[in-house]
Amino acid sequence: MRIWEINQAILKSEVRNSQSEIPISLYSPPVTRVLITGIAGQDGSYLAERLLAGGDTVFGLVRPGGSIERISHLTGSIGLLEEDLLDEVSLVAALARVRPEEVYNLAGFSFVPGSFSAPVVNGELNGLCVARLLEAIRHVDPRIRFYQASSSEMFGSVPTSPQEESTPFQPRTPYGAAKLYAYWTTVAFRRSYGMFAVSGILYNHESPRRPPQFVTRKITLAAARIAAGLETELRLGDLDARRDWGFAGDHVRAMPLMLRRDQPRDFVIGTGESHSVRDFVEEAFAMLDLDWRRHVVSDPALARPGDVPSLVADSRRAREELGWEPEVDFRRLVRMMVEADVALVQESLKARV
């Protein structure tokens, strides 16, 4: 059965009502009706909070059986649907049920080093899933506005710094390559079908909600555990790698600003400041009165293949056209993460007693 035939069949029938779905009838008329894929992730949770605070009605797609810990405090205010992003029929069903005005695609395989060990899965989740979602939107309602979470990893080993919207893409990782496929697919649907489809090219953005395998959270959690006497050593890869690190809560503010303007356009979102992994380590350990040199080991075996030595954003377009500015600086970001992990470690210690 073709997708438009599937769509018509769904629209003519009553859409299933599973235990994971909150009936739409529970909601009052929205300011904007929004669907977020990856709502249970770092970015999805911050975006949901922001949109709810603005009065929007928010629905989210989650993986069947996936954790919703980051949004547990929101479950009484949002509608959740368990759907498979690899299944186009599932996507059509979700869109037909929710009838959103905006879709934010924040789902995907987000751990860059892991894209080397699972390149096919990475390609499916970060590349082909976007094509499926755009095609589903096109057939359900092409008026739906679409935001794609793109990445600075698409720039890769570019010779120019900082990078802006016209900087050539040269990805060096399977993650960056898959994101680039999704980026150009979004452009193609915008140009070919006249859809309001945009990409936010986001630079590294962190928070206490980052999973611990990411280097920033790995650092702050290790510092908290070392300060508590639970560990003595932290092993990292390249300490000289540099990134434009911002706060996830700042970066998600740009997303609705991009979708709620008159014309679709892509934007680079970042702080414009570059810091090394060593800078992050020094800042985090100093906040706990620790000498990082006594605890941190640079292990070449942990350096990822194809790593990009330095990326930094030129976000002038976002500042001028969206009025977007980052509010949390580097030091405040590190402190926020360190304090959260200290509290987490202390809580775990109390639970042992």
Pairing of strands 242-243, 275-276: antiparallel
Q: Rounded to whole angstroms, what are the CA distances from 296 to 206, 222, 238, 334? A: 21, 10, 12, 17
Tokens standing for 158? Answer: 């570019």
Report CA 113 to chain centroid distance, whole Å: 16
**Are 110 and 40 a contacting pair, CB within 8 Å?**
no
**Are 117 and 130 a contacting pair, CB within 8 Å?**
no
Q: What values do phi and psi take at 78, rounded to 5?
A: -125, 160
3-state secondary structure of 201: strand
Rounded distance, CA 39 to CA 200, Å? 17
Tokens 């095609």 correspond to 135
Asked if 153 is an active-site residue, the reply is: yes
Please pick, among 151, 152, 199, 207, the residue that the annotation labels catalytic: 151
Please pick, among 104, 147, 175, 181, the residue that the annotation labels catalytic: 175
Question: Taking Cα atoms as reference points, which of 145, 126, 143, 44 lies closest to residue 85?
Answer: 126
Please pick, among 49, 153, 282, 283, the residue that the annotation labels catalytic: 153
Report CA 182 to chain centroid distance, whole Å: 14
3-state secondary structure of 251: helix
Q: Where are the alpha helices (DSSP H) in 24-118?
A: 42-53, 88-98, 114-117
Residue numbers annotated as active site: 151, 153, 175
